[in-house]
A and B are shown apart, each in its own frame.
Chain A
Amino acid sequence: DAKTTQPTSMDCAEGRAANLPCNHSTISGNEYVYWYRQIHSQGPQYIIHGLKNNETNEMASLIITEDRKSSTLILPHATLRDTAVYYCIVGYNFGNEKLTFGTGTRLTIIP
């Protein structure tokens, strides 16, 4: 699996957009970009995933660069409940394909 690089930590003011970057320069053509988050002492929660095109759902938007070597997760209006560790993962989108977690970004939303 391709590896990812994320900042260790970030702060964001409540109500503002949180932009979390991720570098995945060794991503292969068929690998997807996945974002998960983990709130303390809980299992990871799926946020969004994409291959080439930008994606948006009720939780977030995913912006993938044209060369696919990096991406940005955007939480449009951050709330205190968005404080968590956010993981960017690249992997194949098959049912039996494992996903390997990196160190993630600890996002703290500040009141």
Chain B
Amino acid sequence: GAVVSQHPSRVICKSGTSVKIECRSLDFQATTMFWYRQFPKQSLMLMATSNEGSKATYEQGVEKDKFLINHASLTLSTLTVTSAHPEDSSFYICSARVQGTGNPGELFFGEGSRLTVL
């Protein structure tokens, strides 16, 4: 199946710094990617929809200036957590569907990136 890769898988940073997480579709093009966040023992919460060449669409309650999303190419979307604080510590997961078919089918997920803010 299609592969979505995230980097880094784990990151530890100091409070107040910014962290960038990359999401790549390795063997397919994705005009749309999705970013989720997951706190311990909770379900995945959709943060935003990343659109290639245009602005991301954020879910209600997600600060767009806090979580900057850039989707500069058909295979790469980045999530930057700006001025990170301990409450931003979470598991961030991206996903994408294969584009350009009549039946996109499943959503492929990355391995996730665990952010710890000290």
Contacts and interface: CB of A to CB of B under 8 A. Distances in A.
Interface of A: 34, 36, 38, 41-46, 49, 87, 93-96, 98-104
A34 to B, nearest CB: 7
A101 B101 CA distance: 24
Contacts of B49: 96, 98
B111 A99 contact: no
Contacts of A96: 31-32, 49, 51, 97
B35 to A, nearest CB: 10
A102 B45 CA distance: 9
Contacts of B106: 34, 46, 49
B104 interface: yes
A43 B92 CA distance: 9
A42 B112 contact: yes
A45 B111 CA distance: 10
B43 A102 contact: yes
If over half of A's interface residues share one DSSP class (helix, strand or loop), that class is named, otherwise mixed; here it is: loop
- Choose among A36, A46, A87 the residue with the greatest number of B CB atoms under 10 Å from its CB: A46
Top 8 A-B pairs, shortest CB-CB distance: A43-B109, A46-B106, A96-B32, A101-B44, A95-B104, A43-B112, A44-B109, A101-B43
B61 interface: no
Contact of B93 (A44, A98, A100, A104): A44
A101 B91 CA distance: 15
- Choose among B49, B106, B111, B114 the residue with the greatest number of A CB atoms under 10 Å from its CB: B106
23 contacts: A34-B107, A36-B109, A41-B114, A42-B112, A43-B4, A43-B95, A44-B95, A45-B109, A46-B107, A49-B106, A93-B103, A93-B105, A95-B99, A95-B100, A95-B101, A96-B97, A98-B34, A98-B46, A99-B34, A99-B46, A99-B107, A101-B36, A101-B43
B92 to A, nearest CB: 10
A87 B43 contact: yes
Nearest to B104: A95
